[in-house]
Chains A and B, each alone.
Chain A
Amino acid sequence: MTQSFVIIGDGIAGSSAAETLREEAPDADVTVITDEGESLYNRILIKEFAKGKLPEAPISIHDESWYDERDIDLRLNTLVTDIDPEAHAVETHEDETIEYDKLLVATGGTPTQLPVENSDAEGIHHFWTFQDARKIRESAESADDAVIVGAGLLGIDLAAICGAQGVEAKYLMRGNAWWRYALSESGAEIMHDAMREIGVEPVFESGVDRFEVDDGGRIVAAVDPNGDRYECDWAGVAIGLNFNTEILHGTGVKQNDGVVVDQHMRTNVDDIYAAGDLTRFYDTILGEYAQNGSWGSAKEQGTIAAKNMVEPESAEFRWVSSYSITHFDFPFLSFGHPTIGDDEVERKYSDTEYRRLALKDGKIVGGVLIGDLAPQSAYKRLMREERVVGDQKEILLEKKFDADELAPPQEQ
């Protein structure tokens, strides 16, 4: 009997799973259901589109013929309204029932809205989908001033869009530095200087108390908790994601700030898997549960989930993620989990070069590199190999880091 695989979500996790399922189970029925109106596009590159640096065409990854050629049933604009684990079936908003042998939930997230007055006003943008990018580009091309909120990896994309589109912006941050959980003030200052150079002014110990709107309901200003008012033509908000897990209500699938899966991307409910941004997965490198929202991680999770859907426990997720910022003259790269750990080392080499490594039990668990990314693959390899290197910090921070200079690994 033909196996039936259903995937909810056509982001990179769902799409990589579909591709893998077709490779691993050539005769199976594979259905991909998405509530979006367009098939897989490159979510990493939509910032370049919004900056005006790329046209639309290269952003698309799969057109509908890609699915046809692989005999994958793609359902666009289709919302799954219910999952019945007992019946092994999902129901859509059009009351269609689709049965599955194995189900993958890869529905990702939705940007979190600021819990302040007028946060849904016209001209306030979140930045997640291609459609968001189109609206932001349109706003930015006709604007003089903007306000950015969210001092993290997504917020800085909005700042860079302002810079590229010639929009002067105030970047309102609650703390005293950009991404203060991953790098020190010393490292963050490099990023602050880069923002100022493109016309984006970081405003510290700030944030948003409320937005002001005109008679038509369009944003005209942001007011911070100090009472300072910043006039703007539009605002960009990137303060986090709410995971799209409503459809799991009543299924018994365990959640803990994300869908809990093991290293095989398997939930606690039989035949239901999850992959991508919404998972809290068992990280075999850390030896604990973790989360990650990077493109590469989501793609790999989709692949691993698919292999295990075909052959249970045949593949394990073991991945060192990385995420770069390439908006400025110098590059920035974070890898692993730079916001955790019980120890750290850092060094600033120049006004545009900085490195910080997060360690746990003497092992590298993440890091941030600014300016010189040359050591990135060596650090990732040490993390992947779980090498104990916490007693060799000076070598780790040498400007021309050479992993061969580290003491040989001890037998465990």
Chain B
Amino acid sequence: MSRSIVRPELAVRRVESVPSGSRVRHFDELSDAAQDRVLAAAEGEATDAGPLPADLRENEVIVFTRLYRVTGR
């Protein structure tokens, strides 16, 4: 079962390329909660609010229909 923790300093944002040295994962490797957060980012919904799922790590890049990066605000 996935957990969520409050990390308001992080958000999921679309990026155009993978920064060198970044950890990269595919959408299928994420928990349901993390998948929902990426889906919200893909839909352009506000993704800065609410707890960020624990399995998302800062600076990692998620491969979905586009690339998304977990970044500081």
Show the binding face of A for B, using Cβ within 8 Å.
Answer: 42, 44-45, 48, 53-54, 58, 294-296, 322-324, 326-331, 373-374, 376-377, 380-381
Contacts and interface: CB of A to CB of B under 8 A. Distances in A.
B65 A326 contact: yes
Contact of B63 (A45, A323, A380): A45
A324 B28 contact: yes
Given A58-B23, A58-B24, A331 B35 contact: no
Most buried by B among A42, A53, A324, A330: A324
Contacts of A296: 28-29
Contact of A377 (B18, B26, B36, B43): B36
B24 A323 contact: no
Contacts of A376: 32, 35-36, 39
B25 to A, nearest CB: 8
Nearest to A321: B28
B65 A54 contact: no
B35 A377 contact: yes
A373 B34 CA distance: 13
B65 A44 contact: no
Interface of B: 18, 22-29, 32-33, 35-36, 39, 42-43, 61, 63-65
A326 B64 contact: yes
Contacts of A48: 26, 63
B26 A54 contact: no
Contacts of B24: 42, 45, 54, 58
Nearest to A43: B26
B53 to A, nearest CB: 11
B28 A374 contact: no
B47 to A, nearest CB: 14
A377 B1 CA distance: 12
A322 B2 CA distance: 15
B18 A54 contact: yes
Given A376-B32, A377-B32, A326 B26 contact: yes
Contacts of B25: 42, 45
Given A45-B26, A296-B29, A331-B39, 5 more contacts: A44-B28, A294-B28, A326-B26, A331-B42, A374-B39
Nearest to B66: A326
A295 B63 contact: no
Given A58-B18, A331-B42, A377-B36, A44 B64 contact: no
Nearest to B63: A48
B11 to A, nearest CB: 19
Contacts of B42: 331
B40 to A, nearest CB: 9
Contacts of B39: 331, 373-374, 376
A44 B18 contact: no
B48 to A, nearest CB: 19
6 contacts: A58-B23, A58-B61, A296-B28, A296-B29, A328-B65, A374-B43
Contact of B26 (A42, A329, A330, A380): A42
Given A54-B18, A58-B23, A376-B35, A331 B65 contact: yes
A373 to B, nearest CB: 5
Contacts of B35: 373, 376-377
A376 B32 CA distance: 8
Nearest to A331: B65
